[in-house]
Amino acid sequence: MSENPKIRFGIIGCANIARKVARAINLAPNSTLYAIASRSMEKAHKFAANNGLSETVKIYGSYDQVLDDPCVDAVYMPLPTSLHLHWAVLAAHKKKHLLLEKPVALDVAQLDHILEACESNGVQFMTGSMWLHHPRTAKLKDLISDSKLFGPINYIHSSSTGPGTKEFLENNIRVKPDLDALGALGDLGWYCIEAALWAKDNQLPTTVTALPDVTKNSAGVILSFTASIQWEPLDHTVATIHCSFLSHTSMDLSISASNGTMRCNDYIIPYAENSASFEFTSGAKFAELHIGWSVSPEEVRVISQLPQEALMVQELSRLAEGIREFGYRPDRKWPDISRNTQLVLDAVKKSIDLGCKPVSL
Amino acid sequence: MSENPKIRFGIIGCANIARKVARAINLAPNSTLYAIASRSMEKAHKFAANNGLSETVKIYGSYDQVLDDPCVDAVYMPLPTSLHLHWAVLAAHKKKHLLLEKPVALDVAQLDHILEACESNGVQFMTGSMWLHHPRTAKLKDLISDSKLFGPINYIHSSSTGPGTKEFLENNIRVKPDLDALGALGDLGWYCIEAALWAKDNQLPTTVTALPDVTKNSAGVILSFTASIQWEPLDHTVATIHCSFLSHTSMDLSISASNGTMRCNDYIIPYAENSASFEFTSGAKFAELHIGWSVSPEEVRVISQLPQEALMVQELSRLAEGIREFGYRPDRKWPDISRNTQLVLDAVKKSIDLGCKPVSL
């Protein structure tokens, strides 16, 4: 495949996160950054200069220009969520593979429009959830799938919080009802819900219940919430998630099973780029007289040759190459993960709107 | 104080945990094990032999004999919870200081009888919560009280699970309705609730809500539950706790505040006896391009000269000495902590009984 021309990316929107993904596109061996667009040429040029982009990268002053450029194979779209429906559907109609920043849509009805547009145009859809592509995540999955070391999962806990700064709470698009109306539920909750579904092999839960500690800003945007997710009566797994813009940065995932416990406290963005770890304990008993444990947590460290965001881009490009070179259908895996995440997210929102009543899925 | 005679302990009930506390009583420099009692002489002798107790330790075949022995200053009572009301009240009437194993009572009405008996007889009450006496716990408190490093607490999470074995679920007294009727709520929930209150300086919450994932055994004893605890509208702190007899051993406490995050995964029984740690992160930002963190978690390790259970015994004996030598009143701190813990525990139980409705305190 390495002799095939690289997948050419256009970036629509020069958000802060686009800087990271622009770098990632050039790090991914099967991908290249071909074009960027902002709403003004000035902003786009500034972005190119600030990020040392190659002079060969096309600079556009409107999103339409990227979508109309036949050389663009795939677009990365870090726009505010309220703009996704329009631009993502348009990108699909223009036959561009789509790497859509999370939260992908305001609700599952919007997402279904986007997914249907991708499906009917034969383009690959993928959410910009980088952590799913880290080799640590695969290693974690191996562990929690090990029936002897780990066993049936009983409890999942994830919290995602940050940054708690005044500046963020006043100015960030994630607290603006016309831009990212889902607030902390969309921005942070996306990860926690995705992680819970990931642990459960993307199996949809049966009930979602928000807890009464929801905090909103004066515009009604969720700043902080806690919720529980249940897979009963299918099985006995329960997850709790806590997300807040009001606390210091944290991104914890812990999973308790019959035979083991796993903890990872930087699962969304690893502390360092090239190496990441998690810890687990299996078969722990108390020492004689209960004055200690028979085993201590074991650290598993995973080296990553490429950062997770480059692995994400590489995966999208691999699928895009398959479609281009071999006429494959788009892979349902990524849209399915995103749709289930959105369904649970919608259920949390509904539970909050209903005063924390349980919502069935 | 070292010239004063040591506080002489009697142990009522030869439960497994009594082995640990017997050792602790002899490790505490101001305490000595004076007598043990079981319901039969045979059991008591076996306990003494198995634990290498000194020949000077009196062996009794009934609990009453310990309480009637005027040389006994304090009793440690690791009996099943349903027996506490009778024996703890009797011990207080016999002027014995009381180290009562948790869960201390089946409800706050029972506990109030016990506390009133201790109060009116001028004896010290203390619950057998060892972790509160570990120097790590004090160090943790210093950290979370630091307004710069940590700031206002927004979220507390604690889970306590274990051991998930078939043998435990069939035979342990903690799953028997006539012995420890509170099941996992009493045995494991006690710690999680206590930890949440500890973090909040023993301030009572306003609302408690159980989550719908309660699991009970065929006799109706709680095996697993999740609950949220809120201090709103006093402030915005919320805690979630998860306790289960169905999962592998874990005892996690994490606290998120405006400026920092703290995690401790062995807070109830440290991995090792003489040294224990926690980790915290403060002022974390993302590195340039969000490809890592500006700071990694810092490990704080605390050396303990005596195990936490010996420090607990030492503290009870210190207070008992103060009462004996100087005529002090019993310290309200320990009964107050226990009573608030019981109040929240009762509220969780009520919420479970009401089908997970929020319960106000």
Give strand pairing partners of A301: A277
Burial of B261 (C-beta count, 10 Å sphere; 0-12/13-18/19+): buried
Q: How far is CA A357 from CA A215, A217, A286, A287, A353, in A?
A: 16, 21, 40, 43, 9
| HSE-CB for A11 with a 13 A CA cutoff | 31
Is residue B137 domain-shared with residue B281, that is, in the same domain?
yes
Does the residue A77 lie in any domain? yes
Interface test with B, best of A256, A267, A298 (most B CBs within 10 A): A256
Does the residue B171 lie in any domain? yes
Give strand pairing partners of A257: A153
- Model confidence pLDDT, tens digit, residues A102-147: 999 999 999 999 999 999 999 999 999 999 999 999 999 999 999 9
- Model confidence pLDDT, tens digit, residues B217-255: 999 999 999 999 999 876 889 999 999 999 999 999 999
Is residue B206 domain-shared with residue B117, that is, in the same domain?
no
Does the residue A295 lie in any domain? yes
Instruction: Give the number of other CB atoms < 10 A from CB of residue B48.
Output: 20
Burial of B76 (C-beta count, 10 Å sphere; 0-12/13-18/19+): buried
| Closest CA of chain A from B29, distance in Å | 19
**DSSP-assigned states of every residue in B150-178:** T-SEEEEEEEEE----HHHHHH-GGG-TT
The CATH code of the domain that includes A77 is: 3.40.50.720
Is residue A28 domain-shared with residue A86, that is, in the same domain?
yes
Contact flag A238-B211 (C-beta cutoff 8 Å) = yes
Distance CA B187, CA B241 (A): 13
Give strand pairing partners of B282: B260
Give strand pairing partners of B69: none
Number of independent structural domains in chain A: 2
Distance CA B111, CA B1 (A): 32
Is residue A102 domain-shared with residue A153, that is, in the same domain?
no
Does the residue A217 lie in any domain? yes
Measured between CB atoms, does B355 come within 8 Å of chain A? no
pLDDT at A255 over 60: yes
For residue A149, what is the nearest residue in chain B, using CA coordinates? B248
- pLDDT of A3 reads 65
Across chain A, what does the average pLDDT equal?
Answer: 95
Does the residue B346 lie in any domain? yes
pLDDT at A2 over 60: no
- pLDDT of B165 reads 82
Does the residue B324 lie in any domain? no
- pLDDT of B1 reads 45
* Whether ipTM exceeds 0.85: yes
Distance CA A68, CA A96 (A): 10
Distance CA B338, CA B332 (A): 10
Is residue A137 domain-shared with residue A286, that is, in the same domain?
yes
Is residue A352 domain-shared with residue A225, that is, in the same domain?
yes
Measured between CB atoms, does A240 come within 8 Å of chain B? yes
- Model confidence pLDDT, tens digit, residues A156-200: 999 999 987 888 898 898 999 998 999 999 999 999 999 999 999
Is residue B61 domain-shared with residue B137, that is, in the same domain?
no
The CATH code of the domain that includes A141 is: 3.30.360.10
The domain boundary residue, chosen from B101, B129, B157: B129
Q: Containing domain of residue B249, as a range?
A: 132-307+342-360
Q: What average pLDDT does this structure show over A228-242?
A: 89
For residue B267, what is the nearest residue in chain A, using CA coordinates? A292
The domain boundary residue, chosen from A129, A148, A169: A129
Is residue A102 domain-shared with residue A213, that is, in the same domain?
no
Is residue B79 domain-shared with residue B209, that is, in the same domain?
no
Q: What average pLDDT does this structure show over A78-102?
A: 97
Is residue A95 domain-shared with residue A137, that is, in the same domain?
no
Res. A336 pLDDT band, cuts 50 70 90: very high
Is residue B125 domain-shared with residue B138, that is, in the same domain?
no
- pLDDT of B3 reads 65
The domain boundary residue, chosen from B107, B129, B151: B129
Distance CA B289, CA A286 (A): 44
Res. A1 pLDDT band, cuts 50 70 90: very low
Does the residue B77 lie in any domain? yes
- Model confidence pLDDT, tens digit, residues B121-173: 999 999 999 999 999 999 999 999 999 999 999 999 999 999 878 888 988 98
- pLDDT of A159 reads 97
Q: What average pLDDT does this structure show over B197-222?
A: 95
Measured between CB atoms, does B202 come within 8 Å of chain A? no
Instruction: Give the number of other CB atoms < 10 A from CB of residue A322.
Output: 16
Longest dimension (CA), chain B: 72
Is residue B39 domain-shared with residue B94, that is, in the same domain?
yes
pLDDT at A281 over 90: yes
When comparing pLDDT for A339 and B232, which is higher? A339
Q: Which two tokens stand for residue A9?
A: 């990316």
Res. A235 pLDDT band, cuts 50 70 90: confident
Does the residue B106 lie in any domain? yes
Measured between CB atoms, does B165 come within 8 Å of chain A? no
